[in-house]
Structures are given as structure tokens and as C-alpha cells.
């Protein structure tokens, strides 16, 4: 069984993982979901306080979150150091089939998007004047992030598919990886996950979700 390319409601692609039976993005719109949860609720929110931002993404997936962050960095002049973790990367061939560049109508993104998928693991790549990108191939459970991040995009597959990624041990790593005042956003609004985040010391906000989802979660480290 192979991964399946799917056209979502806003015209952008997502990939249905054969291994996990989950799509990387919402079928109601991949680009608009990523913008809503990670760019608007995390990156832009943090940029109200500072414009030099270290981002940790848990779940590189299709690379859409990184691509949108690069675009926002170019538009707003944000200085971004972007680290992304992925255990099961899609192939470069799959990445080339994704239509994100056409949907965004930003042809210049094609070259850096290709480098995100074909570049070496564990090596910092300067993809734009204000955007440095590093990807790490690792299981989330085995990744040991330093305590230096301003923003975490927590984009693991849903708790039903990978419950261990939403439990206290891993979420505790996320808390420790953030600097004081750092924010974590996720599409997940499950009660048990929110209780875990709160028990670690996060201050939680239940925000309006993207199309097709009633709520999402933003967690701030005190």
C-alpha cells in the first residue's frame, strides 16, 4: 500500500500516510489549516514581541509549515532559525508532486522547497536572507531538543494514531525546549492532551480552529 496524494478543499495537496492511515493536513484545506494554526496563532503571535524567532517543528511531513514560515519571513523580514524533526520522511519524488508553489503563486519558493526535501539531515541550510533551516531525522521520543526555542509547531499525527506522542514524557520535552514566554500550537484540542499540557505548567488558550475544526490549542510557557 502506498501513500495517496489528495486534493483538499482549498485546492492544495495533502498526503494520506499508508503507514498511519492519517493525512498530513486537513482535507478541508491544507494551506489554510497550516496558516491558521502555525503561522497566525504561533509565528505572527510571537512576532508581536520579537522578530528573531527560533522555531521547532515536530513533524516535517510535507514541508508545508516550513514553506509558509519561509514565505512569512521574506514578507515581514523575520529572522528565523527553523529546526524540523521527522522520522518517516516522504520521498523527494512525492515532494515534487505537491502543488504548494502553484497555490501560493510564489515561484521563487520552488528552489528552497526542493532543498528542504533533498538537503542533508542535521546540517543548517541558508535558504533565504533571513531563514536558516535544519532538519533532523529522528523519532520524536528519541529527539533531545535544546532549551532555546521561541515557538513549537506540534504537528504530530493525531492521538488515535500515535498516542505516545501526546503523553507527558514527550510533551514535557516540549515544555523544556521552550524559552520562558515561548508558545506551542497544535490542531489538537483533546481534553486529555490539554490536561497534560496544563499539568506541565503551560497556560492554555482554546482558539477557534481552521475550517472543519471547532477548536485548536495554544500553550504558553510561563
Q: What fold, for 28-221? A: Rossmann fold (3.40.50)
- Tell me the C-alpha distance between 185 and 197, whole Å: 11
For residue 13, the model assigns a pLDDT of: 98
pLDDT at 1 > cutoff 90:
no
Predicted structure pTM score: 0.97
- Tell me the C-alpha distance between 143 and 33, whole Å: 26
Contacts of 40 (CB under 8 A, 6+ apart): none
pLDDT tens digits, one per residue of 55-103: 999 999 999 999 999 999 999 999 999 999 999 999 999 999 999 999 9
Paired sense of beta strands 215-221 and 202-208, if any: antiparallel
Which residue in 208, 210, 149, 211 sits closest to 181, CA to CA? 149
* H or E stretch at 152: strand 149-154
SS3 of 83, please? strand
Give 2's pLDDT tier (boundaries 50, 70, 90): confident
For residue 194, the model assigns a pLDDT of: 98
Q: Which residues pair with 183 in a beta bridge?
A: 151, 220
- Scanning the chain, the segments in alpha helix (DSSP H) are 30-34, 44-47, 64-76, 92-97, 100-104, 110-118, 168-177, 191-200
Residue 40 DSSP class: I
For residue 46, the model assigns a pLDDT of: 98
Contacts of 26 (CB under 8 A, 6+ apart): 8, 14, 33, 187, 210, 211, 212, 213
pLDDT tens digits, one per residue of 24-65: 999 999 999 999 999 999 999 999 999 999 999 999 999 999
Contact 73, 131 (CB under 8 A): yes
Cell readout for 46 is 510571537
pLDDT tens digits, one per residue of 163-221: 999 999 999 999 999 999 999 999 999 999 999 999 999 999 999 999 999 999 999 99
- Tell me the C-alpha distance between 104 and 95, whole Å: 15
pLDDT tens digits, one per residue of 111-141: 999 999 999 999 999 999 999 999 999 999 9
Amino acid at each position: 500500500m502506498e501513500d495517496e496524494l489528495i486534493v483538499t478543499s482549498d485546492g492544495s495537496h495533502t498526503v494520506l500516510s499508508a503507514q498511519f492511515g492519517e493525512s498530513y493536513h486537513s482535507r478541508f484545506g491544507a494551506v489554510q489549516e497550516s496558516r491558521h494554526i502555525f503561522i497566525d496563532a504561533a509565528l505572527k503571535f510571537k512576532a508581536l514581541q520579537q522578530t528573531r524567532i527560533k522555531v521547532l517543528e515536530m513533524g516535517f511531513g510535507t514541508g508545508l509549515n516550513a514553506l509558509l514560515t519561509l514565505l512569512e519571513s521574506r514578507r515581514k523580514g523575520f529572522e528565523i532559525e527553523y529546526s524540523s524533526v521527522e522520522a518517516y520522511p516522504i520521498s523527494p519524488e512525492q515532494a515534487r508532486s505537491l502543488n504548494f508553489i502553484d497555490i501560493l503563486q510564489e515561484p521563487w519558493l520552488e528552489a528552497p522547497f526542493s532543498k528542504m526535501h533533498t538537503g542533508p539531515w542535521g546540517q543548517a541550510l541558508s535558504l533565504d536572507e533571513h531563514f536558516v533551516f535544519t532538519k533532523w531525522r529522528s523519532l520524536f521520543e528519541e529527539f533531545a531538543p535544546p532549551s532555546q526555542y521561541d515557538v513549537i509547531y506540534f504537528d504530530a499525527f493525531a492521538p488515535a494514531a500515535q498516542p505516545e506522542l501526546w503523553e507527558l514524557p514527550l510533551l514535557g520535552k516540549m515544555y523544556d525546549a521552550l524559552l520562558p514566554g515561548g508558545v506551542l500550537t497544535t490542531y489538537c484540542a483533546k481534553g486529555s492532551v490539554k490536561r497534560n499540557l496544563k499539568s506541565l505548567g503551560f497556560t492554555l488558550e482554546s482558539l477557534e480552529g481552521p475550517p472543519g475544526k471547532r477548536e485548536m490549542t495554544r500553550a504558553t510557557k510561563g
